[in-house]
């Protein structure tokens, strides 16, 4: 007899199915509420704290012409500075975390992330080269330069890894070498071609900095993040199928090469856009996906949205901290993420060793 599932649908499953659909909508609504709350907090907290209702009224005024009478100064701070900054922070956190999650699954390596694999370093080099050397002047914008750098870095790192052998750590070693090289290139370009003032600005930007962010930056960050998220979500089942390796994925009908190229380019593009806006910020892409896995498990259908959400919220909080920990001074956001990220990284490394 040929293998046949039981003809009658299982009642338990049918019930589970309906409840899971309902709970999924509930979870999605909850996620949006959390994100909105984080954005409002990002706009309210700072050097001068502004009450939540003023923040909400500002948003209502600007988006819907609600016409609440408000202090122009407060409205200005909330709208022109903090809100744009919070939105870019959210996009940045979501994009980097997603890029990390996707790279970890595709390369089947828990240590993969855009920063460690040298993609961020490559993007920095590309952005700096366009800004200072005027590479492809007029045609290449800074984000495009960053994208070219990011892809070049990943290509180089992959080639190095292939030469170094097929062990799962080869790609990480290659990434470390690659990021060192691209960081050195960036320093070289900066030292050679920048004025002292430019150099200071660039070094500050490289450590990750949201200070200069305004609404036009949202115009890049938001579409890139949303399109990136959609592309990743489109591939959730393919990503699941990579659990047992490329061959197993191929035998499940996944077009392995195509999926790899599309998703790695997406991860590189998200990273490049964020680097060109706020500099290279480490650890988000590494740590957030692991945190998300602990919360919802390894299935990408849930993992990716949660990763994006946690990344966004984490980055908004990190930005608030960077503005408020030392009063009157702004810490580079990379310092905050590294302060939290480095211990988490050590923890993951330890876990990996413990598992046979």
Partner 1 sequence: MKISAQKLCWSAGNLEIVRDVSFDVAPGEFLGIIGPNGSGKSTLLSMMAGIRKPLSGQVMLGDLPIRSIGSREIARSLAFVEQQAETAERITARQAVELGRTPYLGPLSGWSVNDDDIVDAALDNVDMADKADRLWHHLSGGERQRLHIGRALAQEPRVLLLDEPTNHLDIGHQIDLLELVRRQELTVVAALHDLNHAAMFCDRIAIMDQGRMTAIGKPAEVLTAETISTVFGVEATVAPDEDGICHVRFRAGGARRNSARKDAIS
Neighbour count for residue 186 (Cβ, 10 Å): 25
Residue 248 contacts partner 1 per CB under 8 A: yes
Distance of CA 178 to the CA centre of its chain: 20
CB 111 within 8 A of CB 287: no
Which listed residue (70, 250, 265, 335) binds partner 1 by CB under 8 A? 250
Residue 251 contacts partner 1 per CB under 8 A: yes
Residue 1 contacts partner 1 per CB under 8 A: yes
Distance from C-alpha of 121 to C-alpha of 293, rounded to nearest angstrom: 26
Which listed residue (54, 88, 161, 254) binds partner 1 by CB under 8 A? 254
> x/- string (CB under 8 A) for partner 1, residues 273-292?
--------------------
At closest approach, how far in Å is the CB of 222 from partner 1?
22
Of residues 313 through 332, those in contact with partner 1 by CB under 8 A are: none
Residue 233 contacts partner 1 per CB under 8 A: yes
| Closest residue by Cα to residue 330 from 339, 342, 321 | 321
- Closest to partner 1 by CB, 73 vs 298, is 298
At closest approach, how far in Å is the CB of 266 from partner 1?
14
* Burial state string for 326-345 with b = 16 or more CB within 10 A and e = fewer than 16: eeeebbbbbebbbebbeeeb
Residue 235 contacts partner 1 per CB under 8 A: yes
> x/- string (CB under 8 A) for partner 1, residues 213-232?
--------------------
Which listed residue (31, 240, 321, 339) binds partner 1 by CB under 8 A? 240
Task: Give the DSSP H/E element, type plus range, for residue 152.
Answer: helix 142-164
Of residues 54 through 73, those in contact with partner 1 by CB under 8 A are: none
At closest approach, how far in Å is the CB of 99 from partner 1?
18
Of residues 3 through 32, those in contact with partner 1 by CB under 8 A are: 3-6, 9-10, 13-14, 16-17
Residue 163 contacts partner 1 per CB under 8 A: no
CA distances from 43 to 78, 146, 336 (A): 6, 29, 19
Distance from C-alpha of 71 to C-alpha of 49, rounded to nearest angstrom: 14
At closest approach, how far in Å is the CB of 115 from partner 1?
21
The per-residue DSSP string of 162-174 comes to: HHH-SSTTHHHHH
SS3 213: coil
Distance from C-alpha of 49 to C-alpha of 43, rounded to nearest angstrom: 9
Residue 244 contacts partner 1 per CB under 8 A: yes
Beta strands in the chain (DSSP E): none
Distance from C-alpha of 259 to C-alpha of 201, rounded to nearest angstrom: 38
Contact set with partner 1 (CB under 8 A): 1-6, 9-10, 13-14, 16-17, 108, 110, 233-238, 240-241, 243-245, 247-248, 250-255, 293, 297-299, 355-356
């Amino acid at each position: 007899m040929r293998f046949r599932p039981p003809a009658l649908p299982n009642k338990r499953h049918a019930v589970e199915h309906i409840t899971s659909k309902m709970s999924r909508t509930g979870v999605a609504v909850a996620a949006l509420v959390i994100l909105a709350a984080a954005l409002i907090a990002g706009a309210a907290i700072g050097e001068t704290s502004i009450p939540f209702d003023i923040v909400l009224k500002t948003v209502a005024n600007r988006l819907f012409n609600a016409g609440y009478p408000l202090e122009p100064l407060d409205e200005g701070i909330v709208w022109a500075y903090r809100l744009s900054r919070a939105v870019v922070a959210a996009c940045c956190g979501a994009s980097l975390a997603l890029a990390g999650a996707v790279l970890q699954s595709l390369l089947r390596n828990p240590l993969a992330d855009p920063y460690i694999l040298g993609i961020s370093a490559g993007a920095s080099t590309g952005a700096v080269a366009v800004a200072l050397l005027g590479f492809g002047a007029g045609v290449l914008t800074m984000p495009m330069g960053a994208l070219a750098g990011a892809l070049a870095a990943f290509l180089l790192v992959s080639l190095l890894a292939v030469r170094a052998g097929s062990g799962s750590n080869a790609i990480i070693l290659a990434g470390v070498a690659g990021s060192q090289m691209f960081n050195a290139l960036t320093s070289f370009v900066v030292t050679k071609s920048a004025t002292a003032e430019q150099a200071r600005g660039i070094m500050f930007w490289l450590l990750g900095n949201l200070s200069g962010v305004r609404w036009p930056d949202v115009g890049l960050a938001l579409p890139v993040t949303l399109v990136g998220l959609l592309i990743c979500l489109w591939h959730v089942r393919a990503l699941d199928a990579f659990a047992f390796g490329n061959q197993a994925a191929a035998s499940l009908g996944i077009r392995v090469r195509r999926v790899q190229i599309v998703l790695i380019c997406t991860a590189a593009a998200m990273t490049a856009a964020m680097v060109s806006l706020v500099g290279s910020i480490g650890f988000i892409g590494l740590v957030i996906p692991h945190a998300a896995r602990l919360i919802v498990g390894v299935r990408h259908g849930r993992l990716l949205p949660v990763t994006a959400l946690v990344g966004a919220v984490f980055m908004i909080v990190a930005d608030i901290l960077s503005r408020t920990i030392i009063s009157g001074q702004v810490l580079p956001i990379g310092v905050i993420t590294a302060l939290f990220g480095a211990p988490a990284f050590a923890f993951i490394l330890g876990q990996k060793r413990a598992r046979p």
